[in-house]
Structure 1
Amino acid sequence: MTLTPEQQAEIDELRATPRPTLRAVSEGMEGHLYKANPVLDHGFVRVIDYMGDDAAICQAARVSYGRGTKAVSNDEGLIRYLMRHWHSTPFEMCEVKLHVKLPVFVARQWIRHRTANVNEYSARYSILDREFYIPEPEKLAAQSVTNNQGRGEALGPEEGARVLEWLKADAARAYDHYEAMIGQDGQQGLARELARMNLPANIYTQWYWKVDLHNLFHFLRLRADAHAQYEIRVYAEEICRLVKDWVPHAYAAFEDYRLGGATLSGKALECLRRMLAGEAVTQETSGMSKGEWREFQAVLG
């Protein structure tokens, strides 16, 4: 992970000047404020600001449902009820703003989640740093034979070394040409907004990403999943660690019902009932496709 001297100075200054407040404070999140948490080789995630805590979720729910929540004996039980029954609005009362440094190809995947406010570092105005994501050798893998959007077995040592050399050389060459194009020593210099097109997708970018807790949980359910691409999953796992300290009751419910739970189709539920009744159900008698059956078997372990 690489922080500029200016970024480190900003972090040090912000952490050295605490301010009194009357708003809800999460002690766990206060410990994470402004700190840069390393991800991948040059990336990081840091919390810039947040709003709300577990109590804010319960406060919103009790306003929304009034006396209907009186049967819930405590905040933790209420939060678990809300998560179990897919109530979303109370979780939207909490928000977090993150500063994320990430490779461009990860950013393009991340931005598919269109329920956040995003402001990205602009390569039209500023010059991108010479920082590229280069995978660890064990993360270089062949195309999966069962999943068109995933990776399979790791490449052999010889092929892996060749791929790494290409990645490093191509990135360096592209950046050399980028610098040469925008340089103004003896030439006009190409506009930055045009020169950036030559840069590879593994160069690092940065953005501020602000999202409410409901939509953050949706992001984490998909991106912290074991089937998610490794390079975005490690960011999601780091954010999970931060959220766990921010809203511990909400995160525990999320971990139980979303990350650790499973949704079954009507066919899958019927097959499960038949199995519990002692019937030997096969893919041929299940009414499921081979892909559905394989996923059902994975849920059952």
Structure 2
Amino acid sequence: MPLSPEHRAEIEAARATPRQTLRAVSEGMEAHLYRAHEVLDHGFVRVIDYMGDDAAIVQAARVSYGAGTKHVSNDEGLIRYLMRHWHSTPFEMCEVKLHVKLPVFVARQWIRHRTANVNEYSARYSILDREFYIPEPAQLAAQSKVNNQGRGAVLEGAEAARVLAMLKSDAAQMYDHYEEMLSQEDQQGLARELARMNLPMNIYTQWYWKTDLHNLFHFLRLRADAHAQYEIRVYAEAIARVVADWVPLAHAAFEDYRMGGTALSAKGVAVLKRRLAGEAVGYEQSGMSKGEWREFEAVWGA
């Protein structure tokens, strides 16, 4: 279970004491504050704090004194224009701080998104909990034969059971040794900062992660994509649902132009123009590489 009854009680106590404020408030985001959205077997995402809303984006773009305009349609049109033309600074006026509990190997992917402020649970100071990510059977898959960084067929039967048993036994044994190595009252042992080095990559860690909306959209564009690794994608999808409630106009524009849209190279534009003019253009006439042509066909057809 990601949260203990004690943790849930702390969250509900925090939510039970709202305070009056003059700052911009997103009613959609207020519903998410402090609540834990469970991810994987022991993970979660929680909103700790946020700044700004859709109106803050508009206000910054117009450098106005009020909260957007009197007409939501005007604000929506401006936000879509900003997204369509790849403006960034107005979206940077909104920020969010998340509390995330995640496996270490997921954290190592996540931290590559460097434009953020991060503070991680310290295994030098504290002892890590005995919690490991163990995949559901549907996520146990072999290496893809066509994608060097993806999965192929799902394991079945005895092979799936063999791999799952190793994952569980290895994690348990490594944690047992971790505990046995730690300095305790009856033995000198190792310092926590050394004993942790034997722990597996599927053990859970936690951090506070603060970023602005522009960089969060970049994170979501890559990690909520169908091609992203499942274990980080489910975190991105949970965050995307929160963002949709926080800044619905900006999120709708992001979904339309970034997640649902596609970019074309100059060669791609030329091929489309030639096709619209009635010319039959294939790979040999496109001037593209094989990889580019496969991606082009996946969107525009053969």
Whole-Å separation in 2 of the counterparts to 1:180 and 1:276: 70
* Corresponding residue SS for 2:38: strand
Q: Which moved more, 1:43-52 or 1:273-282?
A: 273-282
Query: What is aligned with 2:13?
Result: 13
Measured after TM superposition, the shift of residue 142 of structure 1 is 1.2
Q: Is the 8 A contact 2:183 2:192 kept in 1?
A: no
Residue 51 (structure 1) aligned with residue 51 (structure 2): yes
Q: Gaps spanning 5+ residues in structure 1: where?
A: none
Measured after TM superposition, the shift of residue 7 of structure 1 is 2.9
* Corresponding residue SS for 1:74: helix
Measured after TM superposition, the shift of residue 183 of structure 1 is 4.8
Q: Is the 8 A contact 2:175 2:199 kept in 1?
A: yes
Q: Which AA in structure 2 matches 1:171?
A: A
Q: Is the 8 A contact 2:224 2:234 kept in 1?
A: yes
Whole-Å separation in 2 of the counterparts to 1:281 and 1:59: 47
Matches within 5 A, 1:9-158: 9-63=9-63, 74-158=74-158
Measured after TM superposition, the shift of residue 140 of structure 1 is 1.1
Q: Which AA in structure 2 matches 1:113?
A: H
Aligned alpha-carbon RMSD (Å): 1.6
Whole-Å separation in 1 of the counterparts to 2:283 and 2:218: 31
Measured after TM superposition, the shift of residue 157 of structure 1 is 2.3
* Corresponding residue SS for 2:164: helix
Q: Which AA in structure 1 matches 2:180?
A: A
Q: Which AA in structure 2 matches 1:261?
A: G
Q: Gaps spanning 5+ residues in structure 2: where?
A: none
Whole-Å separation in 1 of the counterparts to 2:73 and 2:169: 61
Q: Is the 8 A contact 2:183 2:191 kept in 1?
A: no
Q: Deviations over 1:121-162 (max 9, x none)?
A: 000000101100011111111111221111112123221111
Q: Deviations over 1:190-211 (max 9, x none)?
A: 1000000000000000000000
Q: Which moved more, 1:244-253 or 1:137-146?
A: 137-146
* Corresponding residue SS for 1:142: strand
Residue 170 (structure 1) aligned with residue 202 (structure 2): no
Measured after TM superposition, the shift of residue 262 of structure 1 is 0.5
Query: What is aligned with 2:252?
Result: 252
Q: Which AA in structure 1 matches 2:131?
A: E
Query: What is aligned with 1:233?
Result: 233
Q: Which AA in structure 2 matches 1:283?
A: Y
Whole-Å separation in 2 of the counterparts to 1:154 and 1:279: 42
Whole-Å separation in 2 of the counterparts to 1:122 and 1:155: 36
> Normalising by structure 2, what TM-score?
0.94
Q: Is the 8 A contact 2:96 2:210 kept in 1?
A: yes
Whole-Å separation in 2 of the counterparts to 1:248 and 1:275: 37
Measured after TM superposition, the shift of residue 288 of structure 1 is 1.3
Q: Which AA in structure 1 matches 2:115?
A: T
Identical-pair percentage = 81
Q: Which AA in structure 2 matches 1:12?
A: E
Whole-Å separation in 2 of the counterparts to 1:27 and 1:274: 49
Q: Which AA in structure 2 matches 1:246?
A: W
Runs of 4+ more than 4 Å apart = none
Measured after TM superposition, the shift of residue 269 of structure 1 is 1.4
Q: Which moved more, 1:274-283 or 1:118-127?
A: 274-283
Measured after TM superposition, the shift of residue 9 of structure 1 is 3.2
Q: Which AA in structure 2 matches 1:252?
A: A
Whole-Å separation in 1 of the counterparts to 2:7 and 2:268: 51
Q: Which AA in structure 2 matches 1:19?
A: R
Query: What is aligned with 2:296?
Result: 296
Q: Which AA in structure 2 matches 1:97?
A: K
CA 1:261 to 1:273, structure 2 compared with 1: closer, same or farther past 3 Å?
A: same
Measured after TM superposition, the shift of residue 280 of structure 1 is 2.0
> Normalising by structure 1, what TM-score?
0.95
Q: Which AA in structure 1 matches 2:222?
A: L
